[in-house]
Amino acid sequence: MKTTLVSIIALTTMLSTLTVFAAELNNEFFVFDNGAGRGQWAPEQQAKTLANLGYAGIGYSGTEDLETRMTAFKKHGLNIYNLYVPCYVDKNVAYGDDLKEAIKLLKGTDVALWLTVQGQAKDDAKAVEVVSEIADLAAASGIKVALYPHHGFYVDEIGDALRVVKKANRENLGVTFNLCHELKAGNEAQFATLLKEAAPHLFFVSINGADHEGNWDTLIQPLGEGVFDLKGLLAMILDLGYIGPIGLQCYAVPGDTLENLTHNIAEWKKLVKDFATN
């Protein structure tokens, strides 16, 4: 019995190791603007720096200076992957005119809306109504909408996002898997199940170094730091056929911006090499 148990453990370990390197990591890698000089660096500096370091682009917060941002990133051959924008289930005005104008300006681009759903409601009816309306506006411009689960919001974790997306039933509407927010929600033990369910609707993934639990200082760390098995998570996502962009969450990470960006891209390249050579 002991020998059998040891054999089972050994086989499980071996399969786990194989799974970690089941596919190559060819996904485009971008950084949130909270790690790229948000509020301090102009779009030109952001684009030039990210291009020099080897990032594929950026995810921006808000809709301001959109034309300037788009011009700078196009000049340097990089992508703006998404705009992080809110909508509300408990306000008379669920989203602003700035969002409507941004959607028009984004027509013909690959820039998606990274949509948070905020506020309090007794059921999903208002969320589905608002999200559907925004998705329809976006569809008219040929762009996608990805719900962004955020701790403490109405759409708090990926299960909430999937529920709303399925009810809204829009082709251009999908979900985001945010590592830090899923850890904050206590969902780590369900990652395999949640990701399998999310796979057909998964538009974006965000990662960072992390521990298993705690506050944002432990749940959002530079790549290569923290005890969470990031390789295992990435292998799980790749095995489900995800080929979309992967973003780097940098909220409240201390240190010099350029040094952090340099460190993180080096760690990303290590991950890419690990998947390619094992």
pTM, entire model:
0.92
CATH of domain 31-277: 3.20.20.150
d(CA 144, CA 115): 10
pLDDT at 177: 98
pLDDT at 5: 36
Give yes or no for a contact between 235 and 19, defined as CB atoms under 8 angstroms apart: yes
pLDDT digit string, tens, across residues 148-171: 999 999 999 999 999 999 999 999
pLDDT at 2: 36
Report which residue type is found at 259: E
pLDDT at 53: 99
The residue extents of the domains of the chain are 31-277
pLDDT at 106: 98
pLDDT at 22: 56
pLDDT at 185: 98
pLDDT at 278: 76
pLDDT digit string, tens, across residues 106-128: 999 999 999 999 999 999 999 99
Residue 54: which region, alpha, beta or left (left: phi > 0; alpha: psi -120 to 50)? left
Low-confidence ranges of the chain (pLDDT < 50): 1-21
pLDDT at 267: 98
* Beta bridge partner(s), residue 82: 59, 112
Cα separation values, 120 from 123, 125, 127, 190, 255, Å: 9, 12, 10, 25, 35
Residue 234: which region, alpha, beta or left (left: phi > 0; alpha: psi -120 to 50)? alpha
